[in-house]
Chain A
């Protein structure tokens, strides 16, 4: 029988949601930091925008899967 996290109470649910929200916050923070470096020092505006779109697309996709996973685990 598969283990159901929800059976262990809300503590693990909170843990999974906290992890998901932390991942979202970390991704957003890194987007700001990396974006600052790309726009300020390294790249021209078009290349920096392209790099940022790529970064956010991958992060966004992974975060969607992560939150879907969190929902599936805690339900």
Chain B
């Protein structure tokens, strides 16, 4: 299974996340309601005096089925977009794979050493009840940017994992130059 990015040989995946199921539920329910409404409208129009004569049952079935087919294709696209949006946290980087529509796929990577700050936000009734929200990752460097990812389940836990990994990574990469410096320094003194 490939999400369009490959880990390095000794890279370890810590978290692999998709948006919370409620996001998918919300979009699907919205589409289903939009899909069902015209069917009621057709039935209503068919029952109206005068207009009803235009709608033979066969015509109503034809139009309803055509509409339902479009709704079904729409739901399939929504599900695909949901499923292909993945957020991966490895021990070296954070990868945001975003499927925008059917032909636009965006993969953004932030290296751990560039992560400065992580902010979480749970900002509505459903988000509080179902424990999901958004995460904002602030990165350092010449192209400092703030990345916002919405609909992440258990954002506090995710933040904790990222911050721990940033600490580990920083500690590991600071220790190595210190050890090299110490070795060189000791050699010179001897």
Contact = CB atoms under 8 A, between A and B. Distances in A.
Interface stretch (B8-16, B73-81, B110-118, B126-134): B73-81
Contact of A62 (B53, B56, B69): B69
A72 interface: yes
Interface residues of A, number: 32
Given A43-B1, A69-B58, A62 B84 contact: no
B76 A34 contact: yes
A66 B53 contact: no
A66 B80 contact: no
Contact of B69 (A38, A42, A66): A66
B72 interface: yes
B104 to A, nearest CB: 12
A72 B1 CA distance: 46
B66 interface: yes
Contacts of B105: 41
B62 interface: yes
Contact of A34 (B2, B56, B59, B80): B80
Most chain A CB neighbours (cut-off 10 Å) among B2, B55, B61, B105: B61
A55 B62 contact: no
B62 A42 contact: no
Q: Name the prevailing secondary structure of the B interface residues.
A: helix
A41 B61 contact: no
B73 A30 contact: yes
Contact of B54 (A3, A40, A66): A3
A66 B66 contact: yes
B58 A62 contact: no
A71 B84 CA distance: 39
Interface of A: 1-5, 16, 19, 23, 26-27, 30, 33-34, 37-38, 40-44, 55, 58-59, 62-63, 65-66, 68-70, 72-73
Q: Which 6 A-B pairs have the closest CB atoms?
A: A69-B62, A72-B58, A69-B61, A66-B65, A62-B69, A65-B65
